[in-house]
Structure 1
Amino acid sequence: MPEPVIVVSYDPDWPRRFDQESAVRGTVFAGSDAAIEHVGSTAVPGLGAKPVIDVMVGLLHLAEAESRY
């Protein structure tokens, strides 16, 4: 049986948590063309959401990511 989806009220701490996650990824992609974005429902102020911070890393060239892992 699938686990239930739990949606919680907006947490004003979510942007700070994204900033922390973004900083970690920023060190991995330092010097690249990476764009690190807060996406998903936790990125929308005032919106209830699943309490999971979604992070998207965009690159112009996939080889950039492959060379770092």
Structure 2
Amino acid sequence: EQLKLLQQKTEVLDKKIQNLNQISEENKQMLKGAESGTPAQGGGDGSDPKQEAADNSEAQTLTAAQLS
């Protein structure tokens, strides 16, 4: 039974790590877009990544809270 619990917890942690890696990759892509001047091309394009960034940071906070 303890082995089953350990396997379940390991699977959950693996999913959380994958989630964090995905969020990290999305943040890197947004930074690359910001550095290349993509947000300056249009007002709508400039505001959307900021909203996504806020969503991602909230997800990171929740995930970090779940990990601890």
The structure number with the bigger radius of gyration is: 2
Q: TM-score if structure 2 supplies the norm length?
A: 0.32
* Greater helix fraction, Structure 1 or Structure 2: 2
* Greater strand fraction, Structure 1 or Structure 2: 1
Q: TM-score if structure 1 supplies the norm length?
A: 0.32
